[in-house]
Chains A and B, each alone.
Chain A
């Protein structure tokens, strides 16, 4: 967990500027989204909302104390505004990336980014750790193929938001997060669903990739368990 996802989730909340009491919306309840929610909770956020549509993942979000938001059932932007007196959340994290898609499976690379801007309040902070790429030849349209995204910049500018983006500098956080674990204050392994020998990696990839129910995080053990 300390090699990537816990520090990356923490980094998303750092870039968003999560402060005790804040309301926080997180797009994506994959491993990084769940770690961002967990990090926000550890930092004392007042309310954490996690948007996804996989029930196994939303259940984990609920178990750590976040509010699950199923975007195949409700409009997540409206939900977040309802939860925040109409203002929008103080902070938002994007933990999905360029392969964001609607419940029908069609990719919209700008979907989570624009929802993020829309559901975070004026002068709110955004942390984007979902992956976006300079080129995406397999992308759904010409814009995306050139690494461009139809981003609601006008809304973003108008609201005076700030955004941090990119991969996580793991060494900035991993010593502190290790000590949180060692001190019994964090157990990020709650999301591990499968521990497999190396030989079963193809099965792990297949199930994790197709978001099979209950496959939330796969750990391979090349040296045996």
Chain B
């Protein structure tokens, strides 16, 4: 699939990367219809973060559900969805208190909290400036 890939400071290109796919039973796969460029993308674009070259940007994503994992019950194929930029579990200590911006489950680094799509220091997740997005 095509995606906006960060090459280095002030350099992005639209390239083929491996297709997004369901990786966990609770995942949903979304065909992206709109993905905005954000001011926080610009910090990364300018090389002023630890964002790794080769990863894709995009955390302001809208689209249509094209596939759901076997553990997904509410969201259906064909639903039009807008995705919070935060990736959160909903059941950790912080999520339970409403702080889905500091989820402890979806951030793999134990010293950090919070996860997001295509974002420096917010987990390994790809961005939505692409044809498809895996939504954990």
Contact = CB atoms under 8 A, between A and B. Distances in A.
Interface stretch (A86-94, A117-125, A169-177): A169-177
B38 A99 contact: no
Interface string A162-199: 00001111111010001000000000000000000011
A39 to B, nearest CB: 17
Chain B at the A interface: SS class: mixed
B39 interface: yes
Interface in B77-124: 82-86, 88, 98-102, 114, 116
A169 B37 contact: no
A138 interface: yes
Nearest to B103: A169
A209 B48 contact: no
Given A31-B39, A202-B12, A220-B129, A2 B48 contact: no
Interface string A92-117: 00000111000000000000000000
B125 interface: no
Interface in B1-40: 2-4, 10, 12-14, 31-40
B94 to A, nearest CB: 9
A59 interface: no
A223 B32 contact: yes
Nearest to B7: A202
B37 A3 contact: no
Contacts of A221: 33-34
B100 A169 contact: yes
A16 interface: no
Contacts of A167: 86, 101-102, 114, 116
Contacts of B65: none
Given A131-B40, A167-B114, A172-B100, A209 B10 contact: yes
A133 interface: yes
Contacts of A4: 36, 38, 59-60, 84-85
A68 interface: no
Nearest to A202: B12
Contacts of B98: 169, 172
A99 B41 CA distance: 13
B60 A198 contact: no
A98 B38 CA distance: 15
Contact of A3 (B2, B3, B13, B85): B85
Nearest to A166: B101
B55 to A, nearest CB: 14
Interface string A1-44: 11111010000000000000000000000111000000000000
A169 B43 contact: no
A154 B92 CA distance: 36
Contacts of B88: 171
Given A138-B48, A198-B129, 9 more contacts: A5-B36, A168-B86, A169-B98, A170-B84, A171-B84, A171-B100, A172-B98, A202-B4, A209-B42
User: Top 3 closest A-B pairs, CB basis?
Assistant: A170-B84, A3-B60, A169-B101
13 contacts: A3-B82, A4-B59, A4-B84, A7-B84, A97-B43, A169-B100, A198-B35, A198-B129, A202-B12, A208-B37, A219-B36, A219-B37, A223-B63
Interface of A: 1-5, 7, 30-32, 97-99, 131, 133, 136, 138, 166-172, 174, 178, 198-199, 201-202, 204-206, 208-209, 217-223
